[in-house]
């Protein structure tokens, strides 16, 4: 990879995003609307929003980034943009990590705004700091982005790209511990949850909710999420095609 090409790629992706107002609105505003609905849904159940809302701060960025980046990369291929870019000195890793940095910056903005709303408007209470929540939420967003880039290689249309959402995201959401504690799951379901990276983003957020200081388990979980994101980006580079037939 080249640092110059990497940063120029990041700047190009950011410029494209700033010109797409609907995508910016979806990334920034939609999680706030959903978080507001969840708050009022559990308003009369003390303590429930502290548990559910905290996890949602990590789930929303993951889901949105998966959906948006899978479609964005598919458009790069079908429009011929990717073919033109890869005929230059641009390396596949420059492109994919450029996407990662650009969407990671946007995810940091979204996570900060969402966390601010949860803490200061809705009274979210956690033993740990809001800063750790933001860090884990951004890591989850980058994971979603990396998985979206990887699975976009197997889609021939935007409709197919959207179809990967229930295949990739939904099992992770069901088994991450949001609905049922993982310790109470059937043995095979618990075993499956241990190989799904979103599990560790949720577990890291739960650690922040329980402990005043960053625990060793939280750092381990954050490392697993980051490692899974890097692995997904590397796999995306290996499977990246110049165009979709």
pLDDT in tens, 106-140: 888 888 899 999 999 999 999 999 999 999 999 99
Give 51's contacts (C-beta < 8 A, 6+ positions apart). Answer: 209
Total residues found in the chain within this entry:
245
Structure tokens at 67: 């959906």
| More confident position, 116 or 18 | 116
**What is the rounded CA–CA span in Å between residue 88 and residue 95?**
11
| pLDDT tens readout for residues 183-218 | 898 889 999 999 999 999 999 999 999 999 999 999
pLDDT band for position 84 (cuts 50, 70, 90): low
**What is the rounded CA–CA span in Å between residue 134 and residue 188?**
32
First to last CA, the chain: 28
DSSP state of 79: T
Give 231's contacts (C-beta < 8 A, 6+ positions apart). Answer: none
Three-state DSSP at 93 gives helix
Three-state DSSP at 155 gives coil
Q: Of 173-182, 220-229, 234-243, which gets the smallest average pLDDT?
A: 234-243
The dihedrals phi and psi of 82, each to the nearest 5 degrees, come to: -65, -40
Cβ contact 137:55 at 8 Å: no
Q: Is the pLDDT of residue 97 over 80?
A: no
Cβ contact 104:225 at 8 Å: no
pLDDT of residue 244: 47
What is the value of pTM for the model shown?
0.86
Q: Of 34-43, 153-162, 164-173, 220-229, which gets the smallest average pLDDT?
A: 153-162
The dihedrals phi and psi of 103, each to the nearest 5 degrees, come to: -70, -30
**What is the rounded CA–CA span in Å between residue 184 and residue 172?**
16
DSSP state of 121: I
Tell me how far CA of residue 216 lies from CA of 92, 104, 221, 229, in angstroms.
35, 24, 9, 20
Average pLDDT, the chain: 84
Q: What is the pLDDT averaged over residues 38-42? A: 92
Cα angle 23-25-26, degrees, rounded to a multiple of 5: 65
CA 90 to chain centre: 25
């Amino acid at each position: 990879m080249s640092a110059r090409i990497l940063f120029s790629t990041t700047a190009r992706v950011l410029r494209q995003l700033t010109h797409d107002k609907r995508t910016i609105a979806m990334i920034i505003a939609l999680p706030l609307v959903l978080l507001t609905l969840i708050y009022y849904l559990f308003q009369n159940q003390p303590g429930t929003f502290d548990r559910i809302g905290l996890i949602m701060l990590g789930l929303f960025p993951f889901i949105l980034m998966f959906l948006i980046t899978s479609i964005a990369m598919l458009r790069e291929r079908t429009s011929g943009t990717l073919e033109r870019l890869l005929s230059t000195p641009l390396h596949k890793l420059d492109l994919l990590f450029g996407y990662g940095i650009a969407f990671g910056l946007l995810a940091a903005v979204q996570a900060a705004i969402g966390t601010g709303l949860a803490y200061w408007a809705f009274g979210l209470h956690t033993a740990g700091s809001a800063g750790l929540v933001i860090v884990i939420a951004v890591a989850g967003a980058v994971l979603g982005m990396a998985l979206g880039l990887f699975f976009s290689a197997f889609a021939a249309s935007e409709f197919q790209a959207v179809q990967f959402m229930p295949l990739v995201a939904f099992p992770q959401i069901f088994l991450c511990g949001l609905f049922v504690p993982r310790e109470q799951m059937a043995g095979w379901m618990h075993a499956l949850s241990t190989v799904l990276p979103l599990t560790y983003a949720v577990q890291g957020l739960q650690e922040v909710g329980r402990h005043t200081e960053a625990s060793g388990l939280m750092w381990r979980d954050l490392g697993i999420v980051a490692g899974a994101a890097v692995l997904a980006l590397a796999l995306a580079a290996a499977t990246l095609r110049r165009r979709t037939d």
